[in-house]
Amino acid sequence: MRVVFGSDHAGYELKRVLMELAKERGWEVEDVGVHGGATADYPDFAHAVASRIGGVSDVRGVLVCGTGIGMAMAANRHTGVRAALCHDAFTAEMARRHNDANVLCLGGRVTGPGVALQILDLFLSTPFEGGRHYPRVAKIERESSS
């Protein structure tokens, strides 16, 4: 299993902390950038991560910007990507159990490293519950006619 990480400048430090945890947990880690603290545009990295995720079951993504909001917006434009902005253990667990989220978004200016590590641990270890959630998740991809 592989985790692809991306961040802008506002998420760079937290991303580095999170990558260490993923490695410790035995995940193969890829970092698409940004590779330093210089100002960068978050959609570039959201698209780079999301394009490696859609439809691939053994790959997950982690995106960190200042709030996580822009990353989630951009990543969710990709077919097959279910990006969830999580703020605590509960939202992280539900994102996996109910939504089968395959990309985790975090705010480096919002969530401290302790909580962020707890969130990532849950995101990587919690299974999708399936059952009644399968058809609901399937409906996410269906285009709205209204």
Residue 75 beta carbon to ligand RB5: minimum distance, rounded to whole angstroms: 11
Question: Toward ligand RB5, which CB reaches closer, 38 or 132?
Answer: 38
- Annotation says 65 is catalytic: yes
**Active-site pick, 65, 78, 86, 105:** 65
User: What is the number of H-type helices and E-type strands within the chain?
Assistant: 6, 5
Round to whole Å and give the CA distance between 1 and 3. 7
CA torsion 43-93-60-77 (nearest 10°) is -40
- Does residue 45 interact with ligand RB5 by CB under 6 A? no
Residue 116 beta carbon to ligand RB5: minimum distance, rounded to whole angstroms: 15
Cα within 13 Å of Cα(85), Cβ side: 17
- Does residue 10 interact with ligand RB5 by CB under 6 A? yes
Residues at the interface with ligand RB5 (CB under 6 A): 8, 10, 42, 65-67, 69-70
